[in-house]
């Protein structure tokens, strides 16, 4: 009897998950992606702790040095092709295969040139590191062509196939986790070995990803060089905006590492880590909103989807941020230890900053869906100016609280710029764009209830009695 009782709830959960994977609605996509984001965040904590214990502080620093610049060059070297692939696939789903072939071929060509630049530059950029670290970093530049093989993954998102898209996101994480476990068991735990072995794992895991792409993306896959120009015109502003966005997110820690004691930086990093708890749900909204907006043919329908997504982002970000802020004074000492109690105050400020940044992220993805990635670039540049000036004025006298406040000011500048651009493009009033009304909240709640009803198993047959 006990086995039967245990099996029934498990069967119900399996049926609910099956229903979630099969349901192709906006709310189902958001729910699925939110769950994936939360699980990926937990796996990230697990692998981070395992890597730190396996390598120690020095080895973990060497691994970061090996991967840091190749990772940065890989992001810059894709020239925004992932975003372009999502946009054009959503706009013309029948041509997704041709866009995939064009994007992969172009990225492979670009990666050769970027690898050559990196090969020459890495000894200069890593001049403070040991020769074996520089050598491993040079080999790790092979990440660029391997990354090109993963571009079809972004086609899933353009087709609104979020089941396949989320599944592929777990490949790299589980590959890294398996490699760390292997290193722990066998003693192969040098930074160079782990970095290059991870590169080999990514190359092998590209095979099932490409097989899945053939099942979900219709041919032909033949590259069309005529599509390179439109894809680059769309993608270049996206990748260019990534530079100021990265600096907006990391400039405070860069300056603190140079100006303030290591202990202070440690407190701030913990505060930043905790504030990331605001992100999974808005991040899921951003992932879904981009292709949903781009796929609408009618401009009015596109603007309506965009505005609805932004209001949902405001509602979810504020709600989650309030909950996170309430538990912050208790959770930070509990999770990170009493020595990190000094991180509580800046963490509370950074939770506010994270909520603003979460709305920014959804606005940016929505603007990309409207075909206006240049507006994202200008917004991030405006935010970078405010962040830099705020750090210059506040970091010295206020320390980590000044850095936290600078994040709030910088993200708010980005938000204001994005809202102005969104208002001009959609002709929506600011209140209509950002403020969900009571009726809309009720409709969201009814939609969630309807979704849960769809996912719940129907009692097709009465359970057998014993």
| pLDDT tens profile 165-204 | 888 889 888 999 999 899 989 888 888 899 999 999 999 9
With a cut of 70, say whether residue 443 has pLDDT above it. Answer: no
Note the pLDDT of residue 305.
Answer: 74
- Domain closes at, from 162, 188, 223: 223
Claim to verify: residue 315 and residue 384 sit in the same structural domain:
yes
- Smallest Cα–Cα separation from 376: which of 385, 384, 367? 367
Cβ count near 9 (within 10 Å): 9
Domain co-membership, 180 together with 295: no
Residues 140 and 287 in one domain: no
Which pLDDT score is estimated for 126?
79
Question: What is the band of 10 on the pLDDT scale with cuts at 50, 70, 90?
Answer: very low
Give the count of beta carbons closer than 10 Å to the beta carbon of residue 59: 17
Among 223, 251, 273, which residue terminates a domain?
A: 223
What average pLDDT score do residues 98-110 get?
Answer: 92
pLDDT on residue 422: 86
| Whole-prediction pTM | 0.62
Distance CA 54, CA 51 (A): 5
Q: What is the pLDDT of residue 17?
A: 46
Give the pLDDT of residue 322.
92
Residues 69 and 145 reside in one and the same domain: yes
Q: Are 247 and 384 a contacting pair, CB within 8 Å?
A: yes
Q: Do residues 243 and 214 share a domain?
A: no
Domain that holds residue 271: 234-457
Boundary of a domain, candidates 223, 254, 289: 223
Q: Is the pLDDT of residue 140 over 90?
A: yes
Q: Are residues 169 and 307 in the same domain?
A: no
N- to C-terminal Cα separation, the chain: 8
Contact 409/386 with Cβ under 8 angstroms?
A: yes
Look at residue 154 and tell me if it is in a domain.
yes
Q: CA 43, CA 45: separation in Å to the nearest integer?
A: 5
Per the prediction, the chain carries an average pLDDT of 78
Task: Let me know whether 151 and 200 are in one domain.
Answer: yes
Report phi then psi at 169, rounded to 5. -60, -25
Q: Say yes or no: 138 and 177 in one domain.
A: yes
In the predicted model, is pLDDT for residue 445 greater than 70? no
322 belongs to a structural domain: yes
Helix (H/G/I), strand (E/B), else coil: 436:
coil
Does position 139 have pLDDT exceeding 90, yes or no? yes
Whether 347 has a pLDDT exceeding 70, the answer reads yes
207 lies in the same domain as 245: no
Cβ-proximal residues to 252 (8 Å cutoff; 6+ apart), any chain? 268, 387, 391, 395, 403, 406, 407
| pLDDT band, residue 94 (cuts 50/70/90) | confident
- Measure Cα distances from 371 to 66, 88, 174, 422, 442 in Å: 36, 10, 34, 12, 31
Say if residue 95 is in the same domain as residue 29. Answer: yes
Q: 328: which residues sit within 8 A by CB, 6+ positions away?
A: 274, 344, 347, 348, 351
User: According to the per-residue pLDDT averaged within each range, which of 31-40, 112-121, 416-425 is highest?
Assistant: 112-121
- 12 part of a folded domain: no
Give a yes or no: residue 11 inside a domain: no
Q: Look at residue 3 and tell me if it is in a domain.
A: no
In a domain, 181, yes or no: yes
pLDDT of 116 strictly over 50: yes
Same domain, 190 and 273: no
SS3 content of the chain, % helix, strand, coil (to 5): 85, 0, 15
Q: Is residue 5 part of a domain?
A: no
The length of the chain is 466
Residues 30 and 164 in one domain: yes
Q: Which residue has the higher pLDDT, 362 or 294?
A: 362
The CA-atom distances, in angstroms, between 62 and each of 49, 66, 327, 328 are: 16, 6, 35, 32
Contact call for residues 152 and 100 (beta carbons, < 8 A): yes
Query: Rounded distance, CA 172 to CA 184, Å?
Result: 18
167 is written with which tokens? 């599944």
Number of domains into which the chain is organized: 2
What's the pLDDT score for residue 16? 46
What are the phi and psi torsion angles at 429 (to 5°)? -65, 155
Q: Tell me: the pLDDT tens digits for 17-43?
A: 455 445 556 666 666 777 787 788 777
Q: Annotate 125-159 with DSSP letters as a single string.
A: HTTTS-HHHHHHHHHGGGHHHHHHHTTHHHHHHHT
Tokens 């940016």 map to which residue? 364
> Phi/psi at 457 (nearest 5 deg)?
-70, 140
In a domain, 101, yes or no: yes
- Decide if 373 contacts 233 (C-beta within 8 A): no
Q: What is the pLDDT of residue 460?
A: 47
Q: Is the pLDDT of residue 461 over 70?
A: no
């Amino acid at each position: 009897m006990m086995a039967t009782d245990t099996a029934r709830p498990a069967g119900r959960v399996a049926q609910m998950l099956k229903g979630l994977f099969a349901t192709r609605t906006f709310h189902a996509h958001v729910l699925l992606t939110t769950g994936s984001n939360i699980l990926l965040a937990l796996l990230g904590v697990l692998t981070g702790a395992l890597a730190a214990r396996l390598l120690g502080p020095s080895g973990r620093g060497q691994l970061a040095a090996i991967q840091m610049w190749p990772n940065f060059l890989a992001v810059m070297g894709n020239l925004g092709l992932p975003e372009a692939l999502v946009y054009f696939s959503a706009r013309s789903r029948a041509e997704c295969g041709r866009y995939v072939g064009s994007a992969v071929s172009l990225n492979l060509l670009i990666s050769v040139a970027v690898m050559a630049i990196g090969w020459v530059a890495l000894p200069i950029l890593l001049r403070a590191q040991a020769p074996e670290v520089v050598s491993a970093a040079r080999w790790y530049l092979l990440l660029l062509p391997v990354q090109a093989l993963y571009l079809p993954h972004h086609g899933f998102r353009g087709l609104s196939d979020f089941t396949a898209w989320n599944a592929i996101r777990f490949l790299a994480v589980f590959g890294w986790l398996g490699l760390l476990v292997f290193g722990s068991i066998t003693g192969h735990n040098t930074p160079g070995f782990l970095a290059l072995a991870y590169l080999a794992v990514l190359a092998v895991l590209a095979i099932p990803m490409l097989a899945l792409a053939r099942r979900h993306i219709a041919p032909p896959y033949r590259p069309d060089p005529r599509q390179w120009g439109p894809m680059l015109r769309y993608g270049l502003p996206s990748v260019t905006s990534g530079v100021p966005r990265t600096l907006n997110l990391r400039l405070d820690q860069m300056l603190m590492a140079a100006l303030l004691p290591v202990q202070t930086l440690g407190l701030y990093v913990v505060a930043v880590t905790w504030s990331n708890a605001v992100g999974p749900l808005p991040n899921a909204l951003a992932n879904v909103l981009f292709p949903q907006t781009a796929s609408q043919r009618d401009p009015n329908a596109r603007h309506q989807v965009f505005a609805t997504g932004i209001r949902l982002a405001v509602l979810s970000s504020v709600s989650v941020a309030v909950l996170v802020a309430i538990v912050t004074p208790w959770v930070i000492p509990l999770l990170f230890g009493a020595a990190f109690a000094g991180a509580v105050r800046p963490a509370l400020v950074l939770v506010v900053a994270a909520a603003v940044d979460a709305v920014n992220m959804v606005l940016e993805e929505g603007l990309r869906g409207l075909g206006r990635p240049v507006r994202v670039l200008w917004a991030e540049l405006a935010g970078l100016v405010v962040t830099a000036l705020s750090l210059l004025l506040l970091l010295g006298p206020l320390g980590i609280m000044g850095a936290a406040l600078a994040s709030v000011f910088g993200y708010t500048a980005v938000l204001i710029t994005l809202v102005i651009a969104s208002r001009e493009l959609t002709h929506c009033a600011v209140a209509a764009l950002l403020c969900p009304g009571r009726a809309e909240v009720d409709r969201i709640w009814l939609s969630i209830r309807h979704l849960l009803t769809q996912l719940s198993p129907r009692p097709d047959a009465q359970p057998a009695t014993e």
